[in-house]
Homo-oligomer: A and B are copies of this chain.
Amino acid sequence: MISEIKSEFPENTDFSKLIKEYGDELGILQREARDLEIPLVIVFEGWYDVFIGEIINRQLLPLDSRGFDFHFTNAPTSEENKIPFIFRFSRKIPPKGKIAVFDRSWYMRGLIEHLLNESEKFGCANLTYKTNLEAILTEPANEEVIHTPKFARLIKTINDFESTLYNNGTRFVKIYLGARKEKRIESHKLWKKIIPYDIDKRSTEKIYKKDVRVLKEVLEQTNTEYAPWNLYFVNQDIDEATATTMKIIIDQIKQIIFDVKSSRFLEQEKTDYCEISENTCPEVPLMKGPLDEVDLTKCYSKEEYKKKLKKNQKKLAFSHYSLYLNKKPMVLVFEGWDAAGKGGSIKRIVQSMNPRYYRVIPIGSPTDVDKKYHYLWRFLDGIPPCGKTSLFDRSWYGRVMVERIEHFCTEEEWQRAYDEIKHFEKAMTDNGVIVIKFWMHISKEKQYERFTARSLNPLKQWKLTEEDWRNREKWNEYYNAVNEMIEKTSTEKAPWVIVEADDKYYARIKVLKTIVKRIEEELNDEMEELDFPISSD
């Protein structure tokens, strides 16, 4: 149950004085949150007649402009409309020490784009508030909306989104500003003056009825322990409403700061008392897993390879162009041992693609800016819009490999990451993105052979770094981590494909074939029968 917040100010409160005092207090809290490096999200949701804009402006004003960003959430822009729903909000989540204020958010947009809109297809939701309002008025009441799978999926998307952020440090203050029925009728005249739509009283009531049923359910189901809702019914008095919401924000930020400080204090104590047990065994034992099954003897002769390459590249050229025509986005993830041939495979793939429709995204160490966000943030920019393909040369799986092994994150963090990554990929596949993840697998002996060859070839020396040799020393640790990663994150819609890569020829053909097959399955009979050259201006 969501508890309702009541104004408890004495009758003759001097609100303008109070708001100033609260403003100073907020300023202090904001600076404290900044120093503690807490990313803070303040969400305002509410229907049309509660003066959210006005209330926010009064609260933002006292704050230091360096500390917050304001996001007014309206219909998606044409670019936003080409990426999975939740990602346009992920991009706006603040870095450490910053506050982002959302004037409407994933809640209102989720409702409008996923529930009121018939089509579930990618890129269909380019509606404005205006047309939506009309849709609500004219559409027959669908009281059962809250029992649809769509609804359940929306709630899950939102809860996964918030829990991933929470677990990685983001804190939420969520405020729903409602208006009571009687107040709504009172405010009707005022409202008519302000909003540009021609709506009569009866319609207002109609919206309200639908509104409450669905919204109540949304609020209940997203009222989590880590991101609870604050429900406040706004009176006509904007000063009172402003003071009350400021009080909510102040109280919650205080609590957040207190909790963060306590947990850091406890962590500190833990580290003080327990010594980190660094594993100093020369050799970590290998654990069983999918990698054990791999037959690394598979190979092709040069002639076979040439023939198959030509054939499969042609097929890929055709099917990739079909993807473009069908506006399907695709994400190809390449992970694998150093010198396993990721680059070579990527090269053979993109040879069949028009550069206008693909991007290769090499992932290195995070920059200083990246480090201010949660670990998935830096990949958002690479998520392809409709019809485009992104090839990730290394990826978010670094979290459960190098970051795990080099202790760049805690065990709790990388353990949690398996689920977080699955949610992240589900947000893609739910929105029509094709996801394939390749693990390029070679034997330890083959790696040695290739390292040596690289070190002797002046054209390839640059590919080999000291880090490669260091990583090689941790072969067994990586082996175990990869086994666990593949077991825990391979899903039907976003499967891992282990590529036998001791023979480069075999590996490249397998990768090509896998992609072609998957595209064909996805496009199925949608696939347009086209017959013209692939690359053109």
Known: A65-B362, A72-B356, A537-B48. A532 touches B57 (CB 8 A): no
User: Which among A113-121, A345-353, A471-479, A485-493 touches the partner chain?
Assistant: A345-353
Q: Which of B65, B69, B77, B367 contacts A369 (CB 8 A)?
A: B367
- Knowing A70-B359, A72-B356, say if A31 contacts B65 (CB, 8 Å): no
With A103-B356, A368-B368, A532-B194 known to touch, is A61 a contact of B351 (CB < 8 Å)? yes
Residue of B nearest to A82 (CB): B77
B533→A24 contact, CB < 8 A: no
Nearest-CB distance from A434 to chain B (Å)? 20
Q: Which of B194, B355, B393, B535 contacts A70 (CB 8 A)?
A: B355
Copies of this chain per assembly: 2
A53 touches B354 (CB 8 A): yes
CB–CB B355/A535 < 8 A: no
| With contact pairs A27-B459, A346-B65, A535-B51 given, residues A367 and B364 touching in the complex (Cβ less than 8 Å) | no
Contacts of A350 in B (CB 8 A): 57, 61
The answer for the CA separation of A27 and B46 in the assembled complex, in Å, is: 56
Q: Mark A27-63, 1 if CB is under 8 A from B, else 0.
A: 1100100000000000000101111111011001100
Q: Which residues of B contact A346 (CB under 8 A)?
A: 65
Q: Please indicate the chain B residues that have their CB under 8 angstroms from the CB of A78 in the complex.
A: 77-79
Chain A interface size, as a band, is 35 or more
**Chain A, range 324-359, C-beta contacts under 8 Å to B:** 343, 346-347, 350-351, 353-356, 359
For residue A281, CB closer than 8 A to chain B, the reply is no
Distance (Å) between the CB of A348 and the closest chain B CB? 10
In contact, B368 and A194 (Cβ under 8 angstroms): no
Bound CA span A195–B533, Å: 10
Question: Within 8 Å of chain B (Cβ to Cβ): is A193?
Answer: yes
A532 touches B193 (CB 8 A): yes
Bound state CA distance, A32 and B197, in angstroms? 61
Indicate whether A536 reaches chain B with its CB closer than 8 angstroms: yes
Contacts A57-B354, A103-B356, A462-B31; A51 near B369 (Cβ below 8 A): no
Contact for A536 among B53, B343, B360, B537, CB less than 8 A: B53
A387-401 to B contact mask, C-beta < 8 Å, 1/0: 000010100000000
- Interface residue A66 (Cβ < 8 Å from any Cβ of B): yes
Other-chain residue from B79, B103, B393 in contact with A355 (beta carbon distance below 8 A): B103
Interface residues of A in 68-112 (CB under 8 A from B): 69-70, 72, 77-79, 103
B343 touching A51 by the CB < 8 A rule? no
Select the residue from A48, A64, A193 with max chain B CB neighbours within 10 A.
Answer: A64
Give the distance to chain B from A395, nearest Cβ to Cβ, in Å.
14
A510-537 Cβ-contact flags toward B at 8 Å (1 or 0): 0000000000000000000000110111
In Å, the complex CA distance between A364 and B193 comes to 42
- Quick one: closest B residue to A65, CB to CB? B360
Q: Point out the residues of chain B lying under 8 angstroms from A61, CB to CB.
A: 347, 350-351
Nearest-CB distance from A359 to chain B (Å)?
Answer: 7
CA distance A72 to B66 in the complex (A): 35
In the complex, what residues of B have CB within 8 A of residue A537's CB? 46, 48-53, 194-195
Give the chain B neighbours of A69 by CB distance below 8 A.
359
Query: What are some 26 contacts across the A-B interface (CB < 8 A)?
Result: A28-B459, A31-B462, A49-B537, A51-B535, A51-B536, A51-B537, A53-B354, A53-B535, A53-B536, A57-B351, A57-B353, A57-B354, A65-B362, A66-B362, A66-B364, A69-B359, A77-B79, A103-B355, A103-B356, A193-B532, A193-B533, A194-B537, A195-B536, A367-B368, A368-B368, A369-B369
